[in-house]
Structure 1
């Protein structure tokens, strides 16, 4: 006997950064809600793992993102109060530029100047520091005398795995259902509804939020697939040189030391007093998440040290404690893509976030949930 599909008002496919946020917000709507994921979030196969993510308010990627960053900070605090877990830590943050050739990031040329401009226009508490003042307070950074330093009071870091887990648990508490380790194989129409076929059965939904990160490429028309690059990223934890500086007191930081997007390094305060997490960015297209090399070689680690650390950052041993792979889903202009899936007006796709999405995910999920719950 054929088993009829399960019926829901709204289904969220992919419950990572944005999906878990949307699911949590939708769970408060009183509607019948389901979240589906091919893995078991929080997991280590996507874009939202690795202990920490930077959050900042004056986002050089675009002034229109500032409202999302500000609202996300409010939501993280609300979730912390409701769940009893710590998601966001305020450390302040610094953005450094060589002052010679302006660094361009995420489709935003002159990233440092734009950050300062947005901070001023959006009334974000900040200061401009001289390089010597920076070195006096944070001697690890060997910024050249021509360098420029922006300091932001509200910046800090998020704990992505804890944030995702907390939102999923709150969603379930509010009555949402979740299916994990469940791969979606097909999305189609059945009358005015959406029919979702998984390896475990079928689901019928009035509306769908499709937030599956890089796996969105499995459901795009061929002509659109090349618009989404899958870019492998490597996170490193470097061992601290004892006695040089107290890395536990450092802010989150970003440093554009040349004009190209890859002329960049960012990092965090030490969370354990023994290691510091640092990374750069890469925009080589690996085509699909399933094709990623998840291993990090000693040669890669050595290249990271020589190209990004050596001569720039002191207070570290030349020893990398561990390295972890994640990925960005990137578009040419690095703007978020939010639109109906081709041929499916009641399936809303959100991807890519181009490597700057987690800080905005709480507010973005809230906005998407609001739109989905109110429409129709």
Structure 2
């Protein structure tokens, strides 16, 4: 039986970055994935992901956001690939709502350059955007997007170049403890390691015993809209825009909010990407996700008609991906209860922007080092379930 220092289960966002970092540190690492990443069966596909440093989810993310931005630029140099493009990131919502107040608190705490904009100023600067007068915005100019499929390929290429062993098209069935070793059992055999990182996204639950109960897979319809004017929605013109607005059918600013986003047109055909970020249906990661329904397409069209009206009647194609939510919507990252040698990571639908720093942090945790940033807040052993609104602040399965 082949033995390694570390086995990483899942080679998506966190797993590929962790494999790369561990291998570059000289660690003997095996990475296993049931598909062939990058692929379209998880959370990391979709051509673009937003990257920003003013992070409305809370100040606990600020050091990670700063470090991630620097690492993206360093990875571009190391790989010779274009990974990150600056577009600006615009957060829109009620002036006293969680999104905008969270953005502004993060920007001010982190000393991040930003602008405060009225709805009228937003409409004038970006004509496709149509916020109502009771909304406002916060702009972080030095923010942008990364290209996830390219990033995953870079992580895996660098991991292999540094000595990692990568097995794809190999399903992990479970793991067992045998003496001082952890045995990982797959569709093609068994492997031994001193430590194991479960980074299988929405498929992690069955591999994590009781910890898996913390994870809630969600199905996310993602829509691609043909813009009426390609130049007005292009990279460098159209910012990433994240909206938190009162739920459709009410103008009460204290009613539950709906969150959605639109990203600049990229890729073949130059289509704008748009999707809801909350209010998502449960997903089954062990079966192919059904395509977006007519009702889901109609819902995004209604939202576009309110806030990005030029896009509302345009041709739409749709895809689906998965989020792996936690009870408090924050990351899960660290050793699982009852076993100091088995580690878990779940990113709650907002992790790709942090991928390179997550690779560093997870490698530190697995190696028994103290990460440069405090991640105790994300521990699977953390007490209680922090409120989402307080944003500052032996297993068997199938992967």
Q: Could you tell me the TM-score, scaled by structure 1's length?
A: 0.90
Contact between 1:239 and 1:319, CA under 8 Å: does it hold in 2?
Answer: yes
For 2:356, the equivalent position in structure 1 comes to 362
For 2:266, the equivalent position in structure 1 comes to 271
1:178 equivalent to 2:166? Answer yes
- In the TM superposition, 1:324-343 aligns within 5 A as 324-343=319-338
Work out the CA distance in 2 between the residues paired with 1:209 and 1:190: 17
Q: CA shift at 1:297, angstroms?
A: 2.9
Match of 2:202 among 200, 214, 221: 214
1:246 equivalent to 2:240? Answer no
Work out the CA distance in 2 between the residues paired with 1:334 and 1:67: 19
Q: CA shift at 1:321, angstroms?
A: 3.5
Work out the CA distance in 2 between the residues paired with 1:166 and 1:150: 32
For 1:256, the equivalent position in structure 2 comes to 244
Q: CA shift at 1:183, angstroms?
A: 0.8
Q: CA shift at 1:369, angstroms?
A: 0.8
For 1:107, the equivalent position in structure 2 comes to none
For 1:106, the equivalent position in structure 2 comes to none
1:232 equivalent to 2:219? Answer yes
Match of 1:112 among 74, 77, 100: 100
Q: CA shift at 1:286, angstroms?
A: 2.3
Check 1:75–1:274 CA distance in 2 against 1; reply closer, same or farther (3 A cut): closer
Contact between 2:258 and 2:278, CA under 8 Å: does it hold in 1?
Answer: no
Work out the CA distance in 2 between the residues paired with 1:246 and 1:239: 12
For 2:301, the equivalent position in structure 1 comes to 305
Contact between 2:2 and 2:192, CA under 8 Å: does it hold in 1?
Answer: yes
Q: Secondary structure at the match of 1:144?
A: coil
Q: Secondary structure at the match of 2:298?
A: helix
Count of paired positions: 360
Larger CA deviation: 287-296 vs 148-157: 287-296
Q: CA shift at 1:212, angstroms?
A: 0.8
Contact between 1:242 and 1:315, CA under 8 Å: does it hold in 2?
Answer: no
Q: Secondary structure at the match of 2:107?
A: helix
Coordinate RMSD, CA, aligned: 2.0
**C-alpha offsets along residues 213-266 of structure 1, whole Å, 9 cap, x if unaligned?**
111111233x544422111111111111238x7111111110111156661220
Work out the CA distance in 2 between the residues paired with 1:360 and 1:172: 21
Match of 2:314 among 313, 316, 319: 319
1:52 equivalent to 2:48? Answer yes
- In the TM superposition, 1:63-142 aligns within 5 A as 63-99=59-95, 102=97, 110-142=98-130
1:143 equivalent to 2:131? Answer yes
Larger CA deviation: 365-374 vs 192-201: 365-374
Larger CA deviation: 179-188 vs 293-302: 293-302
Q: CA shift at 1:301, angstroms?
A: 1.2
Q: Secondary structure at the match of 2:41?
A: coil
| Structure 1, unaligned runs of 5 or more | 103-109
| Structure 2, unaligned runs of 5 or more | 247-253, 371-399
For 2:373, the equivalent position in structure 1 comes to none
Q: CA shift at 1:84, angstroms?
A: 1.1
Work out the CA distance in 2 between the residues paired with 1:284 and 1:302: 15
Work out the CA distance in 2 between the residues paired with 1:13 and 1:261: 37
Contact between 1:286 and 1:292, CA under 8 Å: does it hold in 2?
Answer: no
For 1:8, the equivalent position in structure 2 comes to 4
Q: CA shift at 1:285, angstroms?
A: 4.9
Work out the CA distance in 1 between the residues paired with 2:60 and 2:157: 30
Work out the CA distance in 1 between the residues paired with 2:215 and 2:35: 21
Contact between 2:305 and 2:312, CA under 8 Å: does it hold in 1?
Answer: no
Contact between 2:258 and 2:279, CA under 8 Å: does it hold in 1?
Answer: no
Work out the CA distance in 1 between the residues paired with 2:345 and 2:271: 35
Q: CA shift at 1:77, angstroms?
A: 1.2
Q: CA shift at 1:184, angstroms?
A: 0.8
Check 1:81–1:22 CA distance in 2 against 1; reply closer, same or farther (3 A cut): same
Work out the CA distance in 2 between the residues paired with 1:344 and 1:183: 23
